[in-house]
Structure 1
Amino acid sequence: MRWAAAATGLLMLTGTLMLAAPAAATADGTAADPVEAVTDRLVQHGRSETGAASAADEPRVSVTRSSEGWAFGTAVLATEPGSARMPQGWLFVAEHKDDGWQVAFEGQEEFAALSERAPVVEEAEKPLFAQQDGRQPDARESVTGQPGTMAGGDFRTGMALPTTVGAGTVMTSGPHGWGGYEHPWSSLDFAGGDQVVRAAREGTAYTMCTGWIRVIHDRGYATDYYHLWDNISTNGGWVGSGAYLGYTGTDVTCGGAAYGRHVHFGLRQNSQYVAVAGHNLGKWVIYNGASAYQGSALHGSHRVYAGGVLHNYGALGLTQAVVDANGGGSLNKRTGPGTGYAVAGSVADGATVSIACSSNGTSHTGRYGTTSLWNRLTDGTWVSDAFLWTGVNGPINGWC
């Protein structure tokens, strides 16, 4: 369940809708208005960044905010409805200078710099945009589909599933590309439950086009939600974690296809789609399968494969961990960092624990390898890091 058949509706965005119609130029041939300038840059940017922008793609530029000499909005390369190619889109900031418009898209260093000075960018957006400058960690997903050192070795997102916390939803498709089979496998498909699509984490939200919402989060992350019905119309509005974004649907106003009602959820970091495998969403660790659309999710020692139901346990805090006893059961807690210390109770597989600090102790082997790291919990007891998913390979809240 990943694509849909028919396209419906016209492009509706907050602010003024402006397509790539010819606009007057200045005497020196530069664009006289930001729509023309952004449109000129959009096709070139799409090709350089994603290989997108075929002859059939339709540039759709919307200036949603403007002030004297400044413009802000969305720039989308819409594909043909029903096609296998998904639309691509970016936020942009543009400043008018003597020699024309300077345009910067998400993922360019100039985007953060222009945003900091732009009167059309809100104060709440500026620190988030400052992290969207396109820098990528050492290893984006390799051709093998393995996450490698993606996210710089830090896979904490602070995100829930894009569904209602406390409810179940079907992960109809495991990790796959934003447009299908291509790498990185950044996306998941969800359907069923109450059909409500919700923000995985708080941030500023943007209607890229009908059926498509993007939320910019902290720590360089962003999330995309496509094929929505009755989605919100927003121009940088703040949304809390779990905020309503729309319903699962089959909308393809900006292109692509959707067979069966669902939300196409994409993970981005520093303005690029990145591998979702290895990250934690709703206290589930996502795993690739042998091919796109397969894969699984792991909560503690409980694994669910594509096509199964995931319970949304909510977001895992950045100093929290999920207990993975590597086979079920429970994990002993100790009075100190090692098995030489007395047992001080136990904690169940799949439970969430909060970590105060870390120290080295006796060595143990768990699902993610061998380590001598132990974590002191906020109740004063200790557990081996070998049996916790924290999202990092090392202490997450400092040393004791």
Structure 2
Amino acid sequence: MLGRTGPRLRRIGAAAALLTLVGALSLGAPGGVAADERPAPTLTDAVTERLLERGGAAVGTAAAGDTPRVAVTRSAGDWAFGTAVLATEPGSDRMPHGWLFLAERTRGEWRVALEGEEGFAEISGRSPLVGDRERPLFAQQGGAQQGGAQQAGAQQDGSGEVGAYANGDMRTGMALPTTVGADTVMTSGPHGWSGSAAPWSSLDFAGGDEVVRAARQGTAYTMCRGWVRVVHDRGYTTDYYHLWSNISANGTWVGAGAFLGYTGTDVTCGGAAYGRHVHFGLMQNGSYVGLAGHNLGKWVIENGAAAYQGSALHGSRRVYAGGALYNYGALGLTQGVVDTGGGTSVNRRTGPGTGYPVAGSAADGATVSVACSANGTAHTGRYGTTSLWNRLTDGTWVSDAYLWTGVNGPVNGWC
């Protein structure tokens, strides 16, 4: 499809430079030169070496044929910051992979860390290149996903693998990456960032006003033309690819709902797009994670039997891939969505159990705010059996069996 093309990306800062190196870095010393006499790797070489190692771990042997693109967007003295991308061929069925990097030169050699690595969080705390709004977010980007792969709350990703999430806490605080108060089509259900492979971290959206917006506040970075990344709190990052007329950003603070670009078909860094859309991906601590069980706004994402299938739940209303989702906005971290399991409403009571008088009702799909929780009579809902009850901010109580909060337990402490 022909469409608008984005403006040429601006170079950011006087020290910014785009440096591209094709092929892997040879680790052997040149013939006749002792290993301890060879020149220290340049910044680009050091970043490329680390990028190929990380890419190999994330993608496998296929990464060896990708093209490293290293862009230094900030530098000062012995410090450097930028983006490192493994680009694929335009039209390829494989998507590009990339990370932010920080580098520090010590005794003439560059130490490089990519986001999601322990060193990234450590270096970011000392680097003069990291802004005040970036620093607390980067501090949460060091290390693998919290919790083990078998902990309560882990979700199958559709391929037999189990995704490891932050101790079963599936809250994102995000909205859909579209305009609040409008419909958009979820053209494809959960699938991998690069096709059908696990984890199923990604969704495709199109239609509506075709505007792509930040799902939550954070700092934004242009990975390449058509690809914007936003780093959020709680270790989360969101990717937006195939954009037309996307913003040029180098740590720009963006609020929830900020304009990032338009749905498009851009494949500057590789991959394929067969109709304008945004390819949306969820990461945690530098790695893509399965979307199933997480919420985007007031929709809970669920896998299908195969990649690109699946659905989204708002209360007990289910919309399958190909259907339209209304953007209700973000769900607060101490809020829940009422899910009656097909009913019209659930009773609100004056205490944590059915022995307490009814004090009203909450409609299916309604948003409620939780003040605290306590144990009471047991009930069974869509997500299992529980004796947990939630005291709402209006003083009434609702069984946790009829709420999606993203947490298998109190969402705002005990009463």
Distance 1:35 1:148 in 2: 33
Distance 1:200 1:13 in 2: 26
Which one scores higher on RCO, CA 8 angstroms, separation ≥ 6? 1
Distance 1:58 1:307 in 2: 34
Distance 2:78 2:101 in 1: 14
One of 205, 209, 232 as aligned partner of 1:217: 232
Q: Which residue in 2 is equivalent to 1:307?
A: 322
Aligned pairs for 1:83-94 (under 5 A) are 83-94=92-103
Rate the CA distance shift 1:143–1:387 in 2: closer, same or farther, 3 A. Answer: closer
User: Are 1:355 and 2:356 counterparts?
Assistant: no
> So what's the TM-score if we normalise by structure 2?
0.90
8 Å CA contact 1:319, 1:396 repeated in 2? yes
Q: Which residue in 1 is equivalent to 2:244?
A: 229
Aligned amino acid, residue 378 of structure 1: T
* Matched position secondary structure for 2:272: coil
Rate the CA distance shift 1:204–1:337 in 2: closer, same or farther, 3 A. Answer: same
Distance 2:285 2:63 in 1: 25
User: Are 1:334 and 2:349 counterparts?
Assistant: yes
User: Are 1:380 and 2:408 counterparts?
Assistant: no
One of 265, 281, 303 as aligned partner of 1:288: 303
Aligned amino acid, residue 17 of structure 1: L
1:49-101 CA-partner distances (Å, limit 9, x unpaired): 33265453111100000010000000001000000010000000001111411
8 Å CA contact 2:338, 2:403 repeated in 1? yes
Aligned amino acid, residue 297 of structure 2: G
Rate the CA distance shift 1:52–1:321 in 2: closer, same or farther, 3 A. Answer: farther
Rate the CA distance shift 1:61–1:386 in 2: closer, same or farther, 3 A. Answer: same
8 Å CA contact 2:300, 2:314 repeated in 1? yes
Distance 2:375 2:124 in 1: 44
8 Å CA contact 2:22, 2:68 repeated in 1? no
Q: Which residue in 2 is equivalent to 1:16?
A: 17
8 Å CA contact 2:6, 2:246 repeated in 1? no
Q: Which residue in 2 is equivalent to 1:47?
A: 56
8 Å CA contact 1:4, 1:82 repeated in 2? no
One of 109, 125, 136 as aligned partner of 2:118: 109
1:344-378 CA-partner distances (Å, limit 9, x unpaired): 01111000000000011111111111111100000
Distance 2:385 2:263 in 1: 41
8 Å CA contact 1:9, 1:253 repeated in 2? no
* Matched position secondary structure for 1:117: coil
Q: Which residue in 2 is equivalent to 1:58?
A: 67
Q: CA deviation at 1:113?
A: 0.7
Rate the CA distance shift 1:151–1:18 in 2: closer, same or farther, 3 A. Answer: same
Distance 1:32 1:129 in 2: 26
> So what's the TM-score if we normalise by structure 1?
0.94
Aligned amino acid, residue 315 of structure 2: G
1:9-43 CA-partner distances (Å, limit 9, x unpaired): 987664322212799x9994344642222123222
Distance 2:87 2:9 in 1: 10
Q: Which residue in 1 is equivalent to 2:333?
A: 318
8 Å CA contact 2:158, 2:198 repeated in 1? no
Q: Which moves more between the two structures, 303-312 or 55-64?
A: 55-64
One of 60, 68, 79 as aligned partner of 1:70: 79
Q: Which residue in 1 is equivalent to 2:32?
A: none
Q: CA deviation at 1:45?
A: 2.2
User: Are 1:126 and 2:130 counterparts?
Assistant: no
Aligned amino acid, residue 117 of structure 1: R
* Matched position secondary structure for 1:150: coil
User: Are 1:138 and 2:148 counterparts?
Assistant: yes
What RMSD over aligned residues (CA atoms) do the two structures have, in Å?
A: 2.4
8 Å CA contact 1:4, 1:251 repeated in 2? no
Q: CA deviation at 1:178?
A: 0.2
Q: CA deviation at 1:138?
A: 1.2
Distance 1:143 1:4 in 2: 34
One of 367, 376, 385 as aligned partner of 1:370: 385
Q: Which residue in 2 is equivalent to 1:82?
A: 91
* Matched position secondary structure for 1:152: coil
Q: CA deviation at 1:338?
A: 0.7
* Matched position secondary structure for 1:45: helix
Rate the CA distance shift 1:143–1:207 in 2: closer, same or farther, 3 A. Answer: closer
Distance 2:93 2:299 in 1: 29
8 Å CA contact 1:12, 1:209 repeated in 2? no
User: Are 1:98 and 2:107 counterparts?
Assistant: yes
Q: CA deviation at 1:212?
A: 0.3
Aligned amino acid, residue 96 of structure 1: R
Distance 2:315 2:37 in 1: 63
Q: Which residue in 2 is equivalent to 1:258?
A: 273
8 Å CA contact 2:192, 2:201 repeated in 1? yes
Aligned residues: 396
Rate the CA distance shift 1:330–1:286 in 2: closer, same or farther, 3 A. Answer: same
* Matched position secondary structure for 2:122: helix
Aligned residues with identical type, % of pairs: 70
Aligned amino acid, residue 300 of structure 2: V
Q: CA deviation at 1:145?
A: 4.2
